[in-house]
Amino acid sequence: MKITIDADKCCAAGQCVLIAPEVFDQRDEDGVVVVLDDAPPADQHDAVREAAAICPAAVIELHA
């Protein structure tokens, strides 16, 4: 799994951080998403898929 994000679209709702805190964080200056691990281990894949599905601004893209 490979994660890419479109940070310009991020509205800093923070749901990805709640769902997958080992993979996503928010930057201090404005809460916009930061990817901590863009190729997360398998045990994180379900949480990352959930974060992508819930993201209100469709910022998180997943690639095989």
Partner 1 sequence: MTLSAAAPAPLPVQPPSGCPFDPPPEFSALRTEEPITKISLADGSWAWLATRYADIRAILGDLRFSSDTTLAGYPLSGMTGGATAGEHRGFIRMDPPEHSRLRRMVTREFMVKRVEALRPEIQRITDELCDAMEREQGPVDLVEALALPVPSLVISLLLGVPYDDHGLFQRLTGTLLSRTVADDERALARTELRGYLDRLVTAKEAAPGDDILSRLIVEQQRTGEITHDDVTSFAALLLIAGHETTANMIGLSALTLMRDEESAGRLREDPALIRGAVEELLRFHSIIRNGPRRVATADIEIDGHLIRTGEGVVVAVPSANRDEDVFPDAGRLDVCRPNAQHHVAFGYGIHQCLGQALARVELQVVIGTLLRRFPALRPAVPVDEIPFRTDMSIYGCHALPVTW
Residue 4: CB atoms within 10 A of its CB come to 11
Segment holding 33, helix H or strand E: strand 33-35
36 binds partner 1 (CB under 8 A): no
In whole angstroms, the minimum distance from the beta carbon of 64 to partner 1 comes to 23
Question: What tokens were used for 36?
Answer: 């901590």
23 binds partner 1 (CB under 8 A): no
Of 2 and 11, nearer to partner 1 (C-beta) is: 11
Q: Does 32 bind partner 1 (CB under 8 A)?
A: yes
Cβ proximity of 42 and 18 under 8 Å? no
Q: Identify any residues that bridge with 25 across adjacent strands, giving them in sequence order.
A: 34
Q: Shortest Cβ distance from residue 14 to partner 1 (Å)? A: 4
Q: What CA–CA distance (Å, rounded) separates 41 from 31? A: 25
Which residues lie near partner 1 (CB under 8 A)?
A: 9, 11-15, 17-19, 25-26, 28-32, 50, 53-54, 56-58
